[in-house]
Amino acid sequence: MESMNHGIGVDIAFLLLATLAVVTGWRVFRTDSMVRASFFLLVSFIAVGVIMILLAAEYLGVAMFFMMAVEMTVMALFMVMFMMNPAGLNPMNMVHQERIAIGAGVAGFLVLGVMALLAAFPDQPVPAGLDPVRSLGNEMLGDSMLIFESAGLVLLTTMIGVVVLSSHRGRYGAAAEGSMPPGLEPGGDPAGKPEEDEEGEGGHHHHHHHH
Amino acid sequence: MFSELFLPVLMVIFMLIVGGYAVAVLDRLVASALGTSQDGGIWLAPMARGAWLLTQHANATEAPDWRAWRLAPALYLALAAGGLAVVPWSASLVATDLVTSVVLWGSVEALATVVIFLHGWSANSLLALIGGYRYVALGLSYILISMFVLIGVALPAESLQFTQVVASQAELWNVIRQPLGLPLFLIVGLGMTFWGPLNLADSTDLAGGTASEISGPPRLVWDMARAAMLVAFSGVAATAFLGGWLGPWLPGPLWMAIKMLAVLFVLLLLGRLLPRLAPERCVTLMWVVLLPLSFIDLVWAGIGALL
């Protein structure tokens, strides 16, 4: 184990990874595409994961890789799906509410910086016989088993529910069978469903109202 | 310092090159045995193609994401290298004997989804983008099946370390102990490298999918990366199910090489024999049939570990 000797290599690796994590984290807000932002965030998390491995958290560090990989992919795709920016290659502004964000960022930096400078961090070397994977497993499936199992069950139920709700095909036909999109104004015609005889004209302003 | 840092790196690079070449040669051997005509000699043709690709012009599309587009093939190759690094050749000959190497391989599969999507997305081209989306839709099911099957082999070993997984197979290989494991894992392998029947990301119906717009050196790297990933996958399959380096008479690394080549041969044969699945049917197959089968495999492994 390198981390037990704590050679100069570990220090260099930590500095490089910390720089990578901060720089890619900063790029998340400077890039102009949601897909790029998601994957910059992924790189930042991966760098943090490697730092966790350096800190002998071998399971949590590696778990960070696959959790964040799937999470960021899903996030990127959902953002592209729900935003008016197909594929996310078109440039778009990623920053909103700049004054509040700057204020919150400065305040957060000051609080964390003060904590880093003033807090008394434990200075204990990793015990020789430590088995991080086993101790983590004992923690999760020992005293805290009820919490983790309930959380797991709730998540699984949510996942199955979401799949059932979003499934295109259902037991009684397509999921959208009989459903109507809401109108653009209260009580208006369904949006995005032009009537056949007015096709080509476009726009809902010319629609005659049924009432 | 040398033996700790450079030796593992050299070992992985050696396996990337030799493994990639082995895939190209073996695939041609399988193809010619099945009667598909191959231009050029079996041994020289892969090198000739590589040299030809190196001299070709790298295609450009209109306004691609250059960095991501050029990086994606290299990153996929790097992921294959990460997978090869945790494959043990004997109890001591392993590039990185991480205690969570099984989880690291799971991360390689998950990050492969990111890289393949990025490869399709960054080209700024329709068919490449569809290929990328297709892989994400399918990749999630591959990752889940693989995860359950690999937890199954970790149970008897009581460890997330591949060397321990091999050691736990001293009496009985996992391929017999958990009969569903290897077939499911082979399907994951074909899916993850989008090879043969599960080549839906780079398929001919998308004119090459995520690779439809690349040529020249990036194409060479992409093809090499896919071959290397297949090798890494065979290494993991041989380690997890076929007892890794264990075997009589011959030295461990040789047994490992034989088993890897056997898995590789089966995968390439399946790739040549089976027709490509329709993507929609493939999603149904994965979620409705294979994922429940992987649950059964895990329950089977759990009961076996308890008894």
Give the residues across from A190 on adjacent strands.
A183
With 0-12 / 13-18 / 19 or more C-beta atoms within 10 angstroms meaning exposed / middle / buried, residue A85 is middle
Whether the per-residue pLDDT at B10 is higher than 50: the answer is yes
Are the Cβ atoms of B103 and A70 closer than 8 angstroms? Answer: no
CA distance B99 to B94: 12
The distance from CA A181 to its chain's CA centroid, rounded to whole angstroms, is 29
- What's residue A176's pLDDT? 64
Mutate to test the interface with A, among B6, B114, B119, B144 (most CBs of A within 10 A): B114
> In chain A, what are the domain boundaries?
1-94, 130-168
Residue A35: list chain B partners with CB under 8 A.
118, 121
The tens digit of pLDDT for each residue in A88-107 reads: 566 777 777 889 989 999 99
CA distance B68 to A53: 26
Residue B159: list chain A partners with CB under 8 A.
133
- What's residue A64's pLDDT? 92
Among B106, B107, B117, select the one facing A73 at the smallest CB separation.
B117
- What's residue A206's pLDDT? 47
Are the Cβ atoms of B104 and A62 closer than 8 angstroms? Answer: yes
- What's residue B132's pLDDT? 92
Are the Cβ atoms of A33 and B65 closer than 8 angstroms? Answer: yes
Interface of B with A (CB under 8 A): 5, 63, 65, 68, 98-100, 103-104, 106-107, 109-111, 113-114, 117-118, 121, 124, 129, 133, 136, 140, 143, 159-160
The tens digit of pLDDT for each residue in B11-46 reads: 899 999 999 899 999 988 888 888 877 777 788 888
Predicted-complex ipTM score? 0.89
Backbone phi, then psi, for B207, in 5-degree steps?
A: 55, 35
Complete DSSP assignment for B121-185: HHT--HHHHHHHHHHHHHHHHHHHHHHHHHHHHHHHHTSS-HHHHHHTTSSS-HHHHSTTHHHHH
Unique residue bearing structure tokens 């901060």: A22
Q: Model-level pTM?
A: 0.86
User: Which positions ≥6 away from B135 have C-beta within 8 Å?
Assistant: B113, B116, B117, B120, B194, B200, B201, B210
Whether the per-residue pLDDT at A6 is higher than 90: the answer is no
The tens digit of pLDDT for each residue in A99-130 reads: 998 999 999 999 999 999 999 888 877 777 77
Whether the per-residue pLDDT at B1 is higher than 60: the answer is no
Are the Cβ atoms of B99 and A42 closer than 8 angstroms? Answer: no
The tens digit of pLDDT for each residue in A47-72 reads: 999 999 988 888 999 999 999 999 99
Residue A39: list chain B partners with CB under 8 A.
68, 114, 118
Average pLDDT estimate for B265-286 = 90
A131-140, A154-163, A190-199, B202-211: which has the minimum mean pLDDT? A190-199
Whether the per-residue pLDDT at B298 is higher than 90: the answer is yes
> How many angstroms away from the CA of B50 is the closest CA of chain A?
31
Whether the per-residue pLDDT at A175 is higher than 90: the answer is no
Average pLDDT estimate for B64-82 = 93
The tens digit of pLDDT for each residue in A177-204 reads: 666 777 777 777 777 666 655 444 444 4
pLDDT confidence tier of residue A3, bands split at 50, 70 and 90: very low
- What's residue A155's pLDDT? 93
Structural contact between residues A79 and A38, judged by C-beta atoms closer than 8 angstroms? yes
3-class SS of residue B274: coil
